[in-house]
Amino acid sequence: MTIRAYTPEDFPLIEAWAKARDMAMIPQLLSPNGFIVEDESGPFAVCFVYLAFGCPIASLDNLFTKPGTSFAKCRKGWPILWRTILSFLSNLRTCDDVPLSYKIVRIYTRTPLARFLRNSEGWSVSEHTSTQAIYAIP
């Protein structure tokens, strides 16, 4: 498995995956810090990292897979994605080359990934469910 940076040319593929899950993708809302996990069959997972400034929180969003991807394949792809995200966060610097110290990673997720993360070292998973609401200002 490999991982690469998301590019705008990937949007049609990612949008098709999202539509298959009844999700809407708005390209202007995607972080420039996106990652795509691939194997010999091609891309199968995507995740975007959003950075908060003024506090040490990074958020993961739009973490999902190509429709039909097995949970076993997702579990196999998670380590490379997670290592890449941690490496990305640890290498961020200010314009003065001072490290940005992101100390918390947050994700709002569906139940299967929440169960997986609950059994992963270092993650605290809430028992509460949430629903995403988006408003686009005209």
Residue 136 lies in a domain: no
Residue 138 lies in a domain: no
Residue 65 lies in a domain: yes
**Alpha carbon distance 28, 110 (integer Å):** 23
Residue 131 lies in a domain: no
Residue 130 lies in a domain: no
Over the chain (138 residues), what is each successive 10-residue block's mean pLDDT?
96 96 90 97 96 88 93 92 93 87 84 82 80 70
The pLDDT of residue 132 is: 66
Residue 79 lies in a domain: yes
pTM of the model: 0.85
**Residue 85, phi then psi, degrees to nearest 5:** -65, -45
CATH number at residue 76: 3.40.630.30
Residue 50 lies in a domain: yes
Residue 81 lies in a domain: yes
Tally of structural domains, the chain: 1
Structural domain harbouring 78: 2-118
The pLDDT of residue 71 is: 87
